[in-house]
Amino acid sequence: MNAIALPLPRPAETGALRGLRCVVARDLRLALRRPADTLSVLFFLVIVVSLFPLGIGPEPELLRRMAPGVVWVAALLASMLSLARMFADDLQDGTLESLLLSATPLPLLVLGKALAHWLASGLPLALVSPLLAMQFGLAPDAMGLLAVSLLLGTPVLSLVGAIGAALTVGVRGAGVLLSLLVLPLVVPVLIFGAGAVDAGSAGTSVAAHFSLLAALLVLALAGAPPAAAAALRIAFE
Q: What does the pLDDT read at residue 177?
A: 83
Query: pLDDT value at position 14?
Result: 58
Which pLDDT belongs to residue 157? 92
What is this structure's pTM?
0.85
pLDDT at position 58 over 90 = no
Angle of helix 35-56 relative to helix 12-33, nearest 10 degrees, comes to: 70
pLDDT digit string, tens, across residues 80-132:
888 888 888 788 877 888 888 888 888 999 999 999 999 998 899 999 988 88
DSSP for the chain, please give it: -PPPPPPPPPPHHHHHHHHHHHHHHHHHHHHHH-HHHHHHHHHHHHHHHHHHHHHH-S-HHHHHHHHHHHHHHHHHHHHHTTTTHHHHHHHHHTHHHHHHH-SS-HHHHHHHHHHHHIIIIIHHHHHHHHHHHGGGT--HHHHHHHHHHHHHHHHHHHHHHHHHHHHTTT-TTHHHHHHHHHGGGGHHHHHHHHHHHHHHHTTS--HHHHHHHHHHHHHHHHHHHHHHHHHHHHHT-
